Structure 1
Amino acid sequence: MTAREPMPPFVHKIVAGRQLEMLRTAAGLTQEQVADACGWSQTKVVNVEQGAIRVRPDDLERLLGVLRPDDEQRRRIHEHVEAGRAPIPKSDLRWRFKGDALRKVVEMERSAAVMSSHSSMFVPGLLQTEAYMRHHFLAFRPALEEAEIERLTSLRLQRQRVLDNTDQEFVFSIDQAALARMGNMPGANEQLLHLLQADERPNVSLLFVPFAHGYYRGQEAQYSIFQYDADPTIHFVYVERYDGREVVSDPKHVAGVLDLWEEQRAAGLKAHEATPFLRFLSGASRS
């Protein structure tokens, strides 16, 4: 059993920005007023509050002079800003992945307090068997070289180690369509049994939405929500689409996805129904 990793730098930047925004709101100031007081553009204030840029020490002191936090608030903001500047060692697993969004996901999988995921097209990567992974990678077009399939399989297996972090919670909502798409795939039954074993972990919950439950909003969506128990609580949404990946932290966008997630959780089977459902599918796949 292991523990989750510390909050990554980009999350610290978001937390610092949210705390600065809360201070500004509590002071009754607009972004334009703060920009005028600091001699900045309003765009710069927006970027600071969104964690989109690194804040220089002199800029931070100028901003805090306007917002006037108490000593404890000032200390926390300084800690997050400093942690947001920390470099990530080149030996870190994140650097073995391509693209900023996926690299952030790899970091969040290891450090978020709660990860919630909805999947309707395929079994979530953290729950896939090696045979399922290879079958999935073989379907890529243009076709992948064997060496690349080996690399991707090895990396995905390494990512799955986060399920051993018992101080993290993982909740997966899986539409029956994701399971039905396995068809007669070699190892399909083993994948179902693997899901059964995953559901026995104390920090993993599987929620299934069977075809019998009919339509529900957002059933085609593929996304994950990562929650950090900071002050304030921070959520990130990772979205996969046919044309790319994206990590979103905008509060309004995130709030909409959180509402969708609650609807999708309600559409699924109850926790005690998951195992009988999987056992039924497992038996059907053998016949």
Structure 2
Amino acid sequence: MAVDDPRDGVEQSPTPGAEVSGAPTARRIVLGAQLRRLREAADITRADAGWAIRGSDSKISRMELGRVGFKERDVVDLLTMYGVEDENERAFYLDLVRKSNERGWWHRYTDLMPDWFSNFVGLEESASLIQNYELLFVPGLLQTEEYVRAVVSHGQPVHLDEQTERRVQLRLQRQKLLFRQGAPRLWAVIDEAVLHRPIGGAAALRAQLDHLLEVTKQPNITLQVVPYDRSGYAAEGPFSILRFAEPTLPDVVYIEHLSGALYLDRPHEIEVYSRVIDRLAVDAETPDRSRQFMSKLRQEL
């Protein structure tokens, strides 16, 4: 864990005028963490801060965790209460308010996404390193369009309706972050079974293997395969770890299930999953040997 838990420690403060991570979700978290730091430095309770903005202590808690949008009027009142008088510093925070309320590209898909997944997409946009372990599917950021269609349609791509088609486009749009300027690094570990499971049929699997062999030529994309004889010990299910260059953003473990997702960001939780992904990387074939493995499998199909 690169930084302290935002609920338990004191983080580094961004310098007024410094650039903060680009996605609105990340900006909300940064702004919330800084407001909490200012409140604690002023020795003010959440309840008192909430009263100052005509709210409650739970509202302050949600703001400080970056889970809600910010009103400029509320932040102005809080900065005054916290004793922030320097005009440049106030301008920095208010600019961050405006930027945190901007809509990300995924806003047009919000009718398809529950809040717990919308938050993940926002954080994914700001990550500098995405670590991923998958047991059943090719990681979403590396799936071909045909593979995506098979997954989101539950194996019936010929029956795609308009809403499901938009889900396909959402996943394809997410993948663009790996090829933009300043792209994050993706380090994925998959179980060997993923490469044998014919999602979408044999032709789709061949195309998917071709795609994996192509994209892993990118310097920011690393893929490792855990062979059958070494799998099943380090982790019980898939998960992702998002790591950020912004010092006030805590690393996040994301675990999705059928009806929601878990976000873990406490230092001891991050440590557990960091050890797991390190163990998986050791158990897996090296990136070069993984490419050789996929190439051999592709030739056999």
Same fold (TM over 0.5): yes
By how many angstroms is 1:231 displaced? 4.5
- Whether 1:279 aligns to 2:292 is yes
8 Å contact from structure 1 (residues 176, 209) kept in 2: yes
- Where do 5+ consecutive residues of structure 2 fail to align? 1-20
Correspondence for 1:256 among 247, 269, 286: 269
> What amino acid does structure 2 have at the position aligned with 1:191?
Q
By how many angstroms is 1:225 displaced? 3.4
8 Å contact from structure 1 (residues 173, 265) kept in 2: no
What whole-Å deviation, never above 9, does each CA across 1:238-281 have from its counterpart, x for those lacking one?
4321223x373x643x7614530342233224898223234224
Cα distance in 2 between the residues matched to 1:158 and 1:46: 32
Report the aligned-residue RMSD. Answer: 3.6
> What amino acid does structure 2 have at the position aligned with 1:96?
Y
8 Å contact from structure 1 (residues 175, 219) kept in 2: no
By how many angstroms is 1:232 displaced? 0.9
Correspondence for 1:187 among 204, 212, 216: 204
Cα distance in 2 between the residues matched to 1:189 and 1:124: 16
Cα distance in 1 between the residues matched to 2:79 and 2:95: 14
**CA gap 1:47/1:161 in 2 versus in 1, 3 angstroms:** closer
TM-score (normalizing by structure 1): 0.76
2:5 is aligned to none
- Where do 5+ consecutive residues of structure 1 fail to align? 1-5
**CA gap 1:274/1:189 in 2 versus in 1, 3 angstroms:** farther
1:239 is aligned to 255
SS of the aligned residue for 1:186 comes to: helix
**CA gap 1:172/1:277 in 2 versus in 1, 3 angstroms:** closer
- Aligned length, in residue pairs: 275
> What amino acid does structure 2 have at the position aligned with 1:83?
K
1:25 is aligned to 40
TM-score (normalizing by structure 2): 0.73
Query: Percent sequence identity over matched residues?
Result: 27
Structure 2 matches for 1:1-287, cutoff 5 A? 7-32=22-47, 34-35=49-50, 41-69=56-84, 71=86, 73-86=89-102, 88=103, 92-96=105-109, 98-99=112-113, 100-140=115-155, 145-148=159-162, 150-168=165-183, 169-182=185-198, 185-221=202-238, 223-244=239-260, 246=261, 248=263, 251-252=265-266, 256-257=269-270, 259-269=272-282, 273-284=286-297, 286=300
Cα distance in 2 between the residues matched to 1:51 and 1:11: 8
8 Å contact from structure 2 (residues 130, 242) kept in 1: yes
What whole-Å deviation, never above 9, does each CA across 1:79-114 have from its counterpart, x for those lacking one?
22222233x28xx45413502344444444444333
SS of the aligned residue for 1:133 comes to: helix
